Chains A and B, each alone.
Chain A
Amino acid sequence: MESVVDLALLGLLAVTAFGVLHLRNLVAVVMLMGIYSFLSAALFVVLDAVDVAFTEVAVGAGVSTILALGTLALVGTRQKRHAKSPLIPLLIVLVTGGMLVYGTYDLPRWGEPDNPVHGHVAPEYLADHVPLAGDEGDVLEVHIPNIVTTVLASYRGYDTLGETTVVFAAMVGVLTLFVGSRRQRRTGGPPADDEGGSGAS
Chain B
Amino acid sequence: MEFLGLFNYWVVIFLMMVGFYALISRGNLVKKVVGLNLFQTSVIIFYVSTGKIVGGTAPILIGDDHGVAEGAAEVLYSNPLPHVLMLTAIVVGVATMAMALALVVRIKETYGTVEDDEIQAQVLADEQREGARP
Q: How many residues of B contact A (CB 8 A)?
A: 94
Interface residues of A (CB under 8 A from B): 2-3, 6-7, 10-11, 13-14, 17-18, 20-21, 26, 29-30, 33, 36-37, 40, 43-44, 47-52, 55-56, 59-60, 63-64, 67-68, 70-72, 74-76, 79-80, 82-84, 86, 89-90, 92-94, 96-97, 100-101, 104-105, 107, 109-113, 115, 117-118, 121-122, 125-126, 129-133, 137, 140, 143, 145-148, 151-152, 156, 159-160, 162-163, 166-167, 169-171, 173-174, 177-178, 180-181, 190, 192-194, 197, 200
Q: Which 10 A-B pairs have the closest CB atoms?
A: A137-B67, A109-B5, A193-B112, A111-B54, A170-B95, A48-B78, A89-B25, A145-B61, A10-B11, A147-B59
Q: Name the distance in Å between A61's Cβ and chain B's nearest Cβ.
A: 11
Give chain A residues whose Cβ lies under 8 Å from the Cβ of B68.
Answer: 129-131, 137, 140
Docked-complex contact A40 and B81, CB < 8 angstroms: no
The answer to whether residues A125 and B5 also contact, given A14-B15, A21-B22, A82-B26 and a CB cut-off of 8 A, is: no
Give chain A residues whose Cβ lies under 8 Å from the Cβ of B31.
Answer: 26, 29, 79
Bound CA span A55–B88, Å: 10
Give chain B residues whose Cβ lies under 8 Å from the Cβ of A200.
Answer: 105, 109
Bound CA span A30–B90, Å: 17
Docked-complex contact B48 and A104, CB < 8 angstroms: no
Give chain A residues whose Cβ lies under 8 Å from the Cβ of B10.
Answer: 101, 104
Bound CA span A170–B101, Å: 11
Bound CA span A36–B9, Å: 18
Bound CA span A156–B81, Å: 10
Q: Which residue of B has the minimal Cβ distance to A127?
A: B73
Docked-complex contact B11 and A14, CB < 8 angstroms: yes
Docked-complex contact B56 and A30, CB < 8 angstroms: no
Give chain B residues whose Cβ lies under 8 Å from the Cβ of A79.
Answer: 26, 28, 30-31
Interchain Cβ contacts under 8 Å between A and B, 7 examples: A59-B91, A64-B97, A96-B17, A110-B54, A117-B51, A129-B61, A181-B106
Give chain A residues whose Cβ lies under 8 Å from the Cβ of B115.
Answer: 80
Q: Which residue of B has the minimal Cβ distance to A117?
A: B50
